[in-house]
Amino acid sequence: MKPFKEHVQNVPSFDWIVREFHCCVEDNEFACSWHYHSEYELVLYLDPDEAFQGSYFAGDAIGDIDHNSLFLYGPGLPHMVAGRSVKLEQSKHHTLIIWFAHHWVERLIALIPEARNLKRLLDNSAYGLSFSADTAQQISSLLKQAGTLERHQQAIKVIEILVSLSDDTKAKKLSTTPYRIKPLSDDSELNHRIERATRYIETYYGDAIKISDLCKRLHMSESSAYRMFEKHYGMSFSDHLKQYRIGKACELLASTHFPIALVAEKTGFKNISNFNRQFKELKMMTPTEFRRRFN
């Protein structure tokens, strides 16, 4: 189940697209393919009749889909949905989606400095984001209006939607691991070190690495490295490494048939019992249960 790149449309460059999709599947079981985009994807699930029971899978995150579930997926973040119909009669289950391009939002931020919160929204979308019920309700109303407008009027609604998302202080990251097609660029010394630390973990997570190994690469003290991780990731180096390893284990469990012991070994867990314990602690299910559900 390796992710494939889904092309939104054949036009080589576009700013945004608003689409509505109705579920017309007669089968009880439904799943979209494990995929990602070059664009940002904002998706709103509408199921007022509670006709669908399903889950989203974004990076290494899993969760339930309900009426007015609202998610933002950044470029390169693999995602899918799987579930089943629980009502055979005609229902109102459908989705509203906006795809928008990075270059368009960058121009928007340059033109409207007051919209600088949009940059944080874009950065955090690498993890996938879910939004509060109040914001989802607001976006639902705006999206329903946007679909029927002329394009110049639709632009105003799309901008209003993005600003509303960026103002949601209750938005939550989905995946413990960020996924990006291209890494974010920043010339500051701190962000340069964060980028190097990220690349180091991405390269050597399968080995028995310690913070002292990282500090030698970055030419910094352990106390400075601890502060950097607490400030940037909101957690310690060891917790971040554990979450990253579990995230990579999720990818392997979903996309390969490797034995679970081999998955543990490839992701830096030399003890299968420790792997099973830490996996269940983070994912609330065993590796076997995870594979059964998503592979």
What does the pLDDT look like over 140-197, one tens digit per residue?
999 888 878 888 899 999 999 999 999 999 999 999 878 876 544 454 677 788 888 8
Would you say the C-alpha torsion 203, 126, 69, 44 has a positive or negative sign? negative
Domains of the chain are 4-173 (2.60.120.10), 189-294 (1.10.10.60)
Sign of torsion over alpha carbons 151, 107, 175, 270: positive
Residue 187 confidence (pLDDT): 46
| Residue whose pair of structure tokens reads 């509303």 in the numeric block | 164
231 confidence band (pLDDT: 50, 70, 90):
confident
Residue 220 has a pLDDT of 92
229 has pLDDT over 60: yes
Which residue is listed with tokens 């960026």?
Answer: 166
- The Cα-based distances of 2 to 33, 79, 295 in angstroms read 9, 11, 10
pLDDT in tens, 20-71: 877 655 556 666 667 788 899 999 999 888 888 888 889 888 888 999 999 9
Q: Which tens digit of pLDDT belongs to each residue from 107-145?
A: 999 988 888 889 999 999 999 999 999 999 999 999 888
Residues 6+ apart with CB under 8 A from 102: 39, 40, 75, 122
34 by DSSP, 3-state: which? coil
**Distance of alpha carbon 96 from alpha carbon 21, whole angstroms:** 6
**Best CA proximity match to 35, nearest among 255, 243, 249:** 255
| Nearest Cα residue to 52 out of 98, 20, 18, 95 | 95
Percent of the chain at pLDDT exceeding 70: 86
Task: State the Cα–Cα distance between residues 117 and 163, nearest whole angstrom.
Answer: 8
Cβ contacts of 29 within 8 Å, gap of 6 or more:
83, 84
The pLDDT score that the predictor gives to residue 118 is 93
pLDDT of residue 192: 81
